[in-house]
Structure 1
Amino acid sequence: MPNMPEQPCRITLGDEGPLLVEGPVEVTCADGSVAVSDRFVVAVCMCRRSRMYPWCDTSHRRRTRPGEEPRRSAE
């Protein structure tokens, strides 16, 4: 293994959001490029809608028009 941290890396999965990873991190993308962040927690985009991919910029959130109330899911 390339890294042997004292504690395991914590990754938090959300139902409809990004993958939260305790940093610092290096993310190797499908094209072979590497994105690096030294932040203590990073949000990795899982929907691929982010303009800052692989980092999440909340593009996955449903958009609403000004004056329009957000739709609620049926319960």
Structure 2
Amino acid sequence: MANSPERPRRVTIDPDGPMLVEGPVEVVCADGTVATSRRFTAAICTCRRSRIYPWCDTSHRRRTDRDQGAT
């Protein structure tokens, strides 16, 4: 998929979450496979915890004992 020359893709980076890319988008993975999203915005996993990698499934939000109030 080629980007439109009159308007570049917008990428939003959240240090505590996924990278949001205006879609549609193709992601080429390290092994050469290509993942495609036709959504208006694709959430790309940056923590590598996602079960549907390269797409974000909000695994970065996993609770820890500290989050639940344990001391």
Q: TM-score range by the shorter chain?
A: 0.7 to 0.9
Structure with more contact order per residue of length (Cα contacts < 8 Å, sep ≥ 6): 2
Identity %: 63
Normalising by the residue count of structure 2, what TM-score does the alignment of the two structures yield? 0.83
Q: Which residue of 2 aligns with 1:44?
A: 44
Structure whose residues are more often helix by fraction:
2
After superposing on structure 2, the runs of 4+ consecutive aligned residues of structure 1 that deviate more than 4 Å are none
Number of positions where the alignment pairs a residue of Structure 1 with one of Structure 2: 68
Gaps of 5+ in 1: none
Deviation at 1:26, TM superposition (A): 0.3
> What is the TM-score when the length of structure 1 is the normalising length?
0.79
Q: In the alignment, is residue 12 of structure 1 matched against residue 12 of structure 2?
A: yes
Which residue of the partner structure matches residue 63 of structure 1? 63
Deviations 1:12-46 (A, max 9, x none): 00021000000000000001000001000010000
Root mean square deviation, CA, Å: 2.1
- Contact kept? 2:18, 2:46, Cα under 8 Å: yes
Unaligned runs of 5+ in 2: none
